[in-house]
Structure 1
Amino acid sequence: MALRSVAETLHQLLADVPTWGTESRNLAQAQGAILAADVCAQIDVPPLDNSAMDGYALRLSDLSAGAPLRISQRIPAGANPCALQAGTAARIFTGASIPAGADTVVAQEDCELVGDTLAVNIAPRLGQHIRPRGQDIAEGQRILLKGHRLLAADLGLLASLGVGSVQVGCRLRVALMSTGDELREPGEMLAAGQIYNSNRPMLAALIASLGAEVIDLGIVADTPQATRDALARAAATADVVISSGGVSVGEEDHVKAQVEALGSLNLWKLAIKPGKPLAYGRVAEVPFFGLPGNPVSGFVTFCLLVRPYLLKMQGATQLQSPQWAARALFDWPRAGTRQEYLRARVTPGDAGMEVEIHPQQSSGALSSVSWCNALAVIPIGKTLSRGDSVDVIFLQDIS
C-alpha cells in the first residue's frame, strides 16, 4: 500500500468535517472559542478626545498671545469637564476627556506653576498629546472576522467595545481513551512490563487548549467487550472520539474491529515520521481518530492532523500554522521516504533564526518534545547540510 502524504491526508480529513452548531458565550468563557459571526464596533474607541499625558489642556492660540494662563479646572479620568474658559488652562490627567475649547495638551514636566498661573517651558504643537475620538476604532468598523479564534487580546478588545457576549461555535466534547493493559496512571506502582500512561495527560491538555471539554474514559482493558463498551459510551456522550493506541492488527489490538462493528474505519499509513499509522472513521456517526501509541507519534499526528480538524469543526478558518525559514545548525545526510518532523529548538542568531535538533529523535522519546520549541520539517528525499535553510513550525502555533 502506498504511503499517503500529510497534505493529502489533511485535505481529505478537512473535507469530511461535519457541520457544527453555534452558541452565545460570555467573554469569561470565550477563550479559545471560534467566532461564528463578524464583530463590528458599536462605539468609537476612545469614545471622546482624551489626554495621553498628565499635564495641562489649553488653547494654543491663548498661549501664543503671551498672556498668563490661570488654572480654571481639574479634570481626572472619568470626569465630565466644563468647556475651557478663554485664557485659562485645565489640569488634566492621562485618559481624561479633553474639555471643549482646548486643542493641545502640554506634559506636566514641560510646565511649572508660578503663583496661580501656568508657565509653559516649550513651544507645543497644535493637538499634541491628544488622542482623538475613534483613533483606535471607529463606530461601524469590522473588528474581528467570523472564523477567528479568540485569544486573550481579542477578549480585551471586545470588552473595550462593550461587548459582553459573542456568538461562537459550540464547545466540543471530546472523549479520550487509552488502550493497553501495560499502562498505569502516574502515581501508581509499576509491575514488570508496565509503563506510565503519558499520552493521556498530554492529549487531554492539547484538546483542552482548543476550548473543548475532555471526557476522560481512562485506560480501557485489552478485551473486545471492554473496548466496544468504551467506544459505545464515548459515542453516546461525545462529539469526537480519540483513542491512543490499539489500532494495529495485533491480537491484543481490539479498537479496529470494534470501531468497524459500531461504524466505519479507515486505516491509513502516512508518509510521516514520527507517526505513520492513523485511523479515522465513525463510531455511530461520531468522528473517531485512532492515534499511534508512541507518545511523540501521538503528539505530532494530533498537532498536524487532528487539531486542524477540531478547529474547523468549531468554525475556524485559520487551520494550518505558518512555516518559517531558519538556518540549520545540524547535518541531515539521510534522505527519507517519509516527511520528517524533527524535534528542534529555534534561537536568534547573527543572521536570523537558527535551529538545532535534539539528539534523540525516537518516537518514544517524549523528553525531546518537552525540550523543543519547534518542529523542523524535512521533506521526502531531502538531505541537509549545516548552514542550509530549513522550514520550522513553532510549537506555540500547533499546541
Structure 2
Amino acid sequence: MRRTVAEHRSAVAGLLRWSSGYDGSAPEVLPLVEAQGRALAEDLRAPVSLPPFDNSQMDGYAVHADDLGDTAALLVADAIPAGSVPPPLQPGTAAPIMTGAMLPDGAAAVVPIERADPAQFHSPAERAAGPVTVRLPGDAAPGLFVRRAGSDIAEGATALPAGTLLGPAQLGLLAACGVGTVRVRPRFRVLLLSTGDEVAEPGTPLAPGAIYDANSTLLEAALREAGALVTRHRLLGDDPAVLQEAFAAIPAGSTHLVLSTGGISQGAYEVVRQALADSAVEFSSVALQPGGPQAHGTLSGIPFLGFPGNPVSALVSFEMFLRPALHQLTGSPAPRPVLDAVLVDGLDSPAAKHQVRRGLYRDGKVALVGGPDSHLLHALAASNCLVHVPAGVTALAAGDAVEVTLTGPVPTDPFAVEDVLVLEDAATDAAGTG
C-alpha cells in the first residue's frame, strides 16, 4: 500500500509507543556528570532557593536603610567577603562588600565602589591607622544592586519538568541547587541488523562483486547520537531461513526495537520480505524519495522496522521516521532545527512524492549537494541539511524558498561564487555516476 510521509511517521511513532514496552522501563539514577544528554524522568523541584540569601551584585558598599539619600560621611565597617556571615549593619556605617557576599541585616542597597568617594577600598594600613569614612551618592534606591533570595528560583518550585533534556545549562542549575544525582529516562535499546550476500565488514578484504557494509555504521552512529543504546547483530546473508532463525532467537524483553536494512523492496531476492511473509510485519511504499520502501510491525511482540538498503535511503528513513518517534517517546534526541532557506540552484521532483535532497546551508541559502540518487554517500557526507520538496511540487528554481532540516553544523562564512560552482560541479559529477 502507498502511504504519505505523515501517515508513516505516525505509524512508526504509534508502533514504538504501544509495543516497545519503553514506557514501563524503570528510570536510571545517575550522577550529574553522567546525565548529560539524557531526559529527566520526573519533575525536579529546587531543594533550596537561588540565591539562597540576599547578596551583593557588585563590589561596593552595603548601605543601611536609614542612610539612603544621605551624603554625609559614613564610618567604614568591617569588610564582608563572599562566604562569610556578616553582623548586622549599624546606621551611620557602610560595609565594604564583595560580589556574591551575604547582605547584612539592616542593609538596603549596595553602592558600586566606583561611585564612592574615595572610589577604591581603604587599604589595610589605612584601616589600621584609625577609623576611616566614605561618602556615597544620595540617589541610591532600596534594592540597588541587591540579589534577593529566591529571585532566580524559590525553594520548592519546579526547577526542571519531566522530559527536559539535560545539557550544560540544566546540569549547572541542578548543581547550583545542590542536586547530586538525577532520575533519568532509560536509554532506548535497538538491535541493528544488516542483510545481503554482497555485504562485507569494513576492514576485511573485498571480494569481486561485494561492497562494504556502510548501513550498520551509519545507523549505529545516528542512533547513538540520538541517545539510543545499540547492539549490532552479525551481518546476515540472503537466506530467508537463516534470517527467520535470527529473528526467532531474539530474547523477549531484550530490546525495544529491531531495525534492519535492505531486503524489503519488490526485487527477486528481498530476504527480509521473504523471511517475514507470514508475520505481523507490513511492507508498504511511502511517497518519499529516497526511502520509499518501508516495513513496520512486530516480531513476537517486539517492534520491527525495516529500512531500504541504500545508505542515503536508510539515513533519510531514520531522520524522517525513527528519530522523531524517539523524541516523542523518550525525550531524546532534541528535535532537529527546521529553517526556511533560499535555493542556490534549481531542482526537479516527482509530483507524487516528498523528495528529500541533501544540501549545504549557510547564510540563509542552501546549495544542493549531489543528485536525488540514494547511493551518493560522498554527497551526504558533504551536506549539513535535508532539503524538503513536498509532494505535488515538480520543480523549483534558484531563488525559490524551501524548508530545510539541519543535520550538521552551519559554516559561519557566507556563500561565495566559487563555493557554489564547486558544489554544482560535485552535483554534476555525482549525477553522471548515478
**Matched residue pairs, number?**
390
Once the two structures are superposed, residues 80-110 of structure 1 have per-residue CA deviations (whole angstroms, 9 ceiling, x without a partner) of 2222233333333332222222222233444
Q: Tell me what 1:8 maps to.
A: 7
Question: Which residue does the alignment assign to 1:112?
Answer: 120
* Cα distance, 1:14 vs structure 2: 2.2
Q: Does 1:253 align with 2:270?
A: yes
Q: Contact 2:227–2:333 (CA<8 Å) still a contact in 1? A: no
TM-superposed deviation, 1:379: 0.7
Report which of the two has the higher share of strand.
1
Aligned pair partner of 2:49 in 44, 49, 64: 44
Q: Secondary structure at the match of 1:73?
A: coil
- Mapped to 2, the partners of 1:333 and 1:220 lie a distance apart of 37
CA, structure 1 residues 188+84, in 2 after alignment: closer, same or farther (shift >3 Å)? farther
Moved more, 137-146 or 211-220: 137-146
CA distance in 1: counterparts of 2:81 and 2:212, whole angstroms: 60
- Answer whether contact 1:147 1:318 (CA < 8 A) is retained: no
Where do residues 345-384 of structure 1 align in structure 2 (5 Å cutoff)? Answer: 345-348=360-363, 353-382=364-393, 383-384=395-396
Change in CA separation of 1:319 and 1:11 when aligned onto 2, cut-off 3 Å: farther
SS at match of 2:49: coil
Measured after TM superposition, the shift of residue 335 of structure 1 is: 5.0
2:29 partner letter: R
Q: Is the 8 A contact 2:354 2:389 kept in 1?
A: yes
Rounded Cα–Cα distance in structure 1 between residues aligned with 2:223 and 2:316: 13
Cα offset, 1:378, TM superposition: 0.7
Residues 143-202 of structure 1: CA deviation (Å, up to 9, x unaligned) = 433333333332222333333344443322211111123223332232322222222222
Percent of residue pairs identical: 36
Task: Give the Å deviation of 1:125.
Answer: 4.6
Matches within 5 A, 1:128-143: 128-143=144-159
- Aligned in 2, Cα 1:56/1:182: closer, same or farther, shift over 3 Å? farther
Conserved? CA contact 1:267–1:277, under 8 Å: yes
Segments of structure 1 that go 5 or more residues without pairing to the other structure are none
Pairs within 5 Å for 1:183-222: 183-222=199-238
Cα deviation, 1:325-355, whole Å, max 9, x if unaligned, reads: 222222224453210122122222xxxx222
CA contact 1:51–1:130 (8 Å) conserved in 2? yes
Alignment of 1:332 with 2:347, yes or no, is yes
Q: 1:78 to 1:386 in 2, by over 3 A?
A: same
Instruction: Name structure 2 gaps, 5 residues minimum.
Output: 127-131, 410-434
Structure ID, larger Rg = 2
Q: Does 1:54 align with 2:66?
A: no
**Counterpart of 1:340 in structure 2: which amino acid?**
Q
SS in 2 for 1:218: coil
- Quickly say closer, same or farther: Cα 1:100–1:396, change in 2 above 3 A: farther
Q: How far did 1:61 drift?
A: 4.9
Residue 189 of structure 1 aligns with an amino acid whose one-letter code is P
Q: Return the TM-score normalized by structure 1.
A: 0.86
Per the alignment, do residues 260 and 32 of structure 1 end up closer, same or farther by CA in structure 2, a change over 3 Å counting?
A: farther
Q: CA deviation at 1:24?
A: 3.8
Query: What's the offset of the Cα at 1:279?
Result: 1.0
TM-score (norm 2): 0.80
Amino acid in structure 2 at the alignment position of 1:255: V
**Partner Cα distance (2:401, 2:43) in 1:** 39
Structure 1 residue 388 corresponds to structure 2 residue 416: no
AA of the residue aligned to 1:41: A
- Paired residues for 1:27-176 under 5 Å: 27-59=32-64, 61-62=66-67, 64-110=69-115, 111-113=119-121, 115=126, 116-118=132-134, 120=136, 124-176=140-192
For 1:153 and 1:260, locate their aligned partners in 2 and report how far apart those are by CA, in whole Å.
49
Measure the CA separation in 1 of the matches of 2:191 and 2:149. Answer: 49
User: Over aligned residues, Cα RMSD in angstroms?
Assistant: 2.9
Q: 1:281 maps to which residue?
A: 297
